[in-house]
Amino acid sequence: MPKKIIIVIALILTVIVNTLPTVAQRNRGRRMIRVDLLVLNGTLVTMDKERRVIQDAGIAVAHGRIVAVGSRADIVEKYSAPERVDATGKIIIPGLINGHTHVPMTLFRGLADDLDLQEWLTKYIFPAEAKNVTEEFVRAGTRLGLAEMIRGGTTTYCDMYYFEDAIADETEKAGVRGVLGETVIDFPVADNKTNAEAMAYVERFVQKWKGSELISPAVAPHAPYTVSEEHLKAIRAFSDRTGAPIVTHISETKREVDDSLKAKGASPVDYLSRIGFLNDRVIAAHMVWPTAGEIQILKRDGVGVVHNPQSNMKLASGVAPVPKMMAEGLRVGLGTDGAASNNDLSMWEEMDTAAKLHKLISGDPKVMSAEQAFELATSGGARALHMEKEIGSIEKGKRADIVLVNRDALNQIPLYNVYSDLVYATKASDVQTVIINGRVVMRERRLLTLDETAIKEGARVFREKVIKSLGASIGP
Ligand SMILES: [Zn+2]
């Protein structure tokens, strides 16, 4: 072969080889990863371990989970999706976690206020419940509560009530995440008249919803003073067998502690520890009066604690030692309690109150920073519900529970610190768009899974029924 031809071939080969990587790179650039949804732009408060706050952020979501978190530029370079949510000018946060509610009690909102827990419960709430709570009541109240929670950026809630199967049904339809506990209590209630009936209900309920992406079915013994030792032990055994979480109230009032000391010779946590009830599936609301020793028991057993500052203040139950429990590394979240004792389901008010209450009671303004209060409603709440692997922060692999918050309301301007803005200035009405399990359930303040007008109508109908049922005992 002539030398010239060999040189020409060599040159051609060199050119081809040199252009190859460029072609491959171009192909790689075009081969985008297809996902379901992208959330782009805005300030992302991740609540991950490093507490990253990403400006001009991007999140990729597929099959209900977060597959990537980063800068907008990184995300749009690698991912494409049929649906995009534009967060320009917004704050993106993990969905809020309401760690303790009785959601249908929205229908008793304002029925009886300004009373202590015992009087409130025995004179008003228990009689009103006995006369009014039906499956239809529970469904209507749940829809009202769900609409209020979505509007306020709550994406997961932990509940305890009756007809919890109907609550689960409404919750799943609305696309909201819930740890939902069917109440077990030692007197006849709306859905179950005996402990045997209640336990049979719980068995069916847990089997039915187990494995659901949104609903975690749970068993909810009301409190150590309304459920016997024998029944509490049976509930613990049921939970061991099925893995169901246990939702309960513990150490809410001083009176509960005093009564427990008298009747059982131990304060509530000590007593529950002694009978082998506590473990890392228990979610305990209130925990206002634990001793230093009891805090160690809660830590040892991995019990989730839910702080309800507004309910505790309103019923004058006391102030839970939350800063101490947080310093000890306990699993502490935040909840509103039922709307009959709060009287709303706003986690924004709850965060604001938690931060201020602990400063006031300790006399130290450095106690419970805005960032810590925000933690209670997000990553802390996830730990309290024993769900920190799934929710509570915006991180790769977690469920896509994502909330966009406006930051241009008069009450938010100007903004210097994002946690300060979120905890001390933002209101539920500033929540703009809500995504749960990768599905948009509220867009630009419009509910997509619930009919707001019908919900309001339904609630008014039940108000008339409640008034009729209680007769003259209703105020002005
Ligand atoms: Zn409660």
Task: Tell me how far the alpha carbon of residue 222 lies from the centroid of ligand 1, in angstroms.
Answer: 8
pLDDT recorded at residue 279:
97
Task: Tell me how far the alpha carbon of residue 260 lies from the centroid of ligand 1, in angstroms.
Answer: 19
Are residues 176 and 149 in contact, defined by beta-carbon separation less than 8 angstroms?
yes
Nearest to 132 by CA among 475, 473, 474, 468: 468
pLDDT recorded at residue 474:
62
| Angle (CA) 454 458 462, round 5° | 170
Task: Tell me how far the alpha carbon of residue 335 lies from the centroid of ligand 1, in angstroms.
Answer: 9
User: Quick one: tokens of 414?
Assistant: 């100007």
pLDDT recorded at residue 121:
85
pLDDT recorded at residue 475:
60
Give strand ranges (E) for 315-430: 331-334, 402-406
Nearest to 251 by CA among 241, 233, 266, 234: 266
Question: What confidence tens digit (pLDDT) does each residue in 146-201 have?
Answer: 999 999 999 999 999 999 999 999 999 999 999 999 999 999 999 999 999 999 99
pLDDT recorded at residue 23:
42
Task: Tell me how far the alpha carbon of residue 98 lies from the centroid of ligand 1, in angstroms.
Answer: 12
> Which residues of the chain register pLDDT less than 50?
20-27
Task: Tell me how far the alpha carbon of residue 52 lies from the centroid of ligand 1, in angstroms.
Answer: 34
Question: What confidence tens digit (pLDDT) does each residue in 198-225 have?
Answer: 999 999 999 999 999 999 999 999 999 9
Which pairs from 269-273 meet CB under 8 Å and 24+ separation? 269/294, 269/297, 269/298, 270/294, 270/297, 271/224, 272/224, 272/232, 273/297, 273/301
Question: What confidence tens digit (pLDDT) does each residue in 65-123 have?
Answer: 999 999 999 999 999 999 999 999 999 999 999 999 999 999 999 998 988 888 888 88
Task: Tell me how far the alpha carbon of residue 413 lies from the centroid of ligand 1, in angstroms.
Answer: 35
User: Quick one: tokens of 355?
Assistant: 């931060």
pLDDT recorded at residue 24:
42
pLDDT recorded at residue 17:
52
Task: Tell me how far the alpha carbon of residue 336 lies from the centroid of ligand 1, in angstroms.
Answer: 9
